[in-house]
Amino acid sequence: MTITSPQLGSPSAWTDARLLHALEEVVETELNRHLKVAKDWMPHEYVPWTDGRNFPGLFEDGEAWQKEQSKVTEIGRIALVVNLLTEDNLPSYHHEIASLFGRDGAWGTWVHRWTAEEGRHGIVMRDYLLASRAVDPDKLEQFRMSHMSEGFESDNRHSMLHSIAYVAFQELATRISHRNTGHQSGDPVCDRMLARIATDENLHMVFYRNLLKAAFELAPDLTMQAVRDVVVNFRMPGHSIPGFERAAAQMAIGEVYNLRIHHDDVLQPVLRFLKVLEIDGLGPEGLKAQEELGLFLGGLDTEASKFDEKLAARKARMAARAGA
């Protein structure tokens, strides 16, 4: 990575355009690394097609959907719908990052490659859900139309650094959500499918995490502020899904994704890898952001511990009722 102007180190000099240019070499390196380790896979190979049968409609022999037709657990069903509807907004996500990162050079190649890989996730999840009759197909389509008709605007679209910081955490959050959904689904076929998706999401996280590391080396103060802002205000991309708050609460209780998981399995691994709280030599604004980030994480850990206690008490009550 070559910086030709000594003035580029000053915070006021770092525009999005200059950062895009300065990070192009890193993007190319990370893209080449990604292409070497990423493995192509066929969505149709993860779908239990022999379980499928006609739904009512054009087919006179169609069989109406009933919850009992699927082996997927209730929490698995809820999380699968949230995860799929999140993936469904891929056109909006592509538009956001293509507008921010551009469509040329290494940046553009990554944008299109990422979009192609993410496209598999929606394909295989929907095919699985319909073939296995895990969800009501009519309601699923109604949810999809409602969610996509709302469109999507990232909370971080104003800043390239904020966007990189966000996806570094969000890709890991998505991986964890998919993986835990598989574990809680009650269906080994679903578990294998979501494990395959989670592998992709982890590679995407590594790409953005390494890019964020390079950004810290270039513009540590601005990057620290971006990380602080993203961590403090983090929201999953599917937050506008109809009924998301209720579904998120059920997923928290079902241990698919909750405060403890968010703190321990999403925020901490990225922050530890980057040694964000150990970076020194920051200016006043960077140091302030670092301190605020540390305070926030401490508060989040406390809130997560309170949630852990409530969840443990709930489990104890349920166990007592079952044994009564």
Q: Residue 5 domain-assigned?
A: no
Q: Residue 59 domain-assigned?
A: no
Task: Specify the pLDDT at position 282.
Answer: 94
Which of 23-37, 45-59, 73-87, 200-214 shows the lowest per-residue confidence on average (mean pLDDT)? 45-59
Q: Rg of the chain's alpha carbons, rounded to an integer?
A: 21
Q: Residue 173 domain-assigned?
A: yes
Tens of pLDDT, residues 223-267: 999 999 999 999 988 888 888 999 999 999 999 999 999 999 999
- Whole-angstrom distance, CA of residue 93 vs CA of residue 230: 17
Q: Residue 3 domain-assigned?
A: no
Per-residue pLDDT for 158 more than 80? yes
**Residue 45 annotated in ligand binding:** no
What DSSP letter does each residue of 50-65 carry, written as one string? GG--PPSSS-TT----
**Residue 309 annotated in ligand binding:** no
Tell which residue, 155, 177, 169, has the closest CA to residue 81. 177
Q: Backbone phi, then psi, for 241, in 5-degree steps?
A: -60, 140
Task: Specify the pLDDT at position 17.
Answer: 86
- Whole-angstrom distance, CA of residue 174 vs CA of residue 257: 10
pLDDT above 90 as % of the chain: 76
Q: Are 291 and 112 in contact (CB under 8 A)?
A: no
Tens of pLDDT, residues 258-315: 999 999 999 999 999 999 999 999 999 999 999 999 999 999 999 999 999 999 999 8
- Whole-angstrom distance, CA of residue 72 vs CA of residue 67: 9
How confident is residue 320, by pLDDT bands cut at 50, 70 and 90? Answer: confident
Domain count of the chain?
Answer: 1
**Residue 153 annotated in ligand binding:** no
How confident is residue 9, by pLDDT bands cut at 50, 70 and 90? Answer: very low
3-state secondary structure string across 55-107: CCCCCCCCCCCCHHHCCCCHHHHHHHHHHHHHHHCHHHHHHHHHHHHCCCHHH
Residue 194 vs residues 118, 183, 296: alpha-carbon distances, Å:
13, 9, 31
Task: Specify the pLDDT at position 100.
Answer: 85
How confident is residue 190, by pLDDT bands cut at 50, 70 and 90? Answer: very high
Task: Specify the pLDDT at position 319.
Answer: 83
**Residue 63 annotated in ligand binding:** no
Per-residue pLDDT for 114 more than 90? yes
- Whole-angstrom distance, CA of residue 123 vs CA of residue 128: 9
**DSSP assignment letter at 256:** S
Q: Residue 254 domain-assigned?
A: yes
Q: Residue 9 domain-assigned?
A: no
**DSSP assignment letter at 104:** S
Tens of pLDDT, residues 118-157: 999 999 999 999 999 999 999 999 999 998 888 778 888 8
Tens of pLDDT, residues 83-92: 999 999 898 8
Tens of pLDDT, residues 167-186: 999 999 999 999 999 999 99
Residue with the bigger pLDDT between 254 and 322: it is 254
Return the SS3 of 127.
helix
How confident is residue 2, by pLDDT bands cut at 50, 70 and 90? Answer: very low
**Residue 239 annotated in ligand binding:** no
Task: Specify the pLDDT at position 1.
Answer: 31
**Residue 201 annotated in ligand binding:** yes
Task: Specify the pLDDT at position 155.
Answer: 84
Q: pTM score > 0.85 for this model?
A: yes
Q: Residue 2 domain-assigned?
A: no
Range of the domain at 167: 16-49+66-323
Q: What is the CATH number of the domain that holds 227?
A: 1.10.620.20
Q: Backbone phi, then psi, for 81, in 5-degree steps?
A: -65, -45
Average pLDDT of the segment spanning 14-19? 86
Task: Specify the pLDDT at position 12.
Answer: 55
Q: Residue 135 domain-assigned?
A: yes
Per-residue pLDDT for 324 more than 80? no
Which of 2-6, 159-163, 262-266 shows the lowest per-residue confidence on average (mean pLDDT)? 2-6
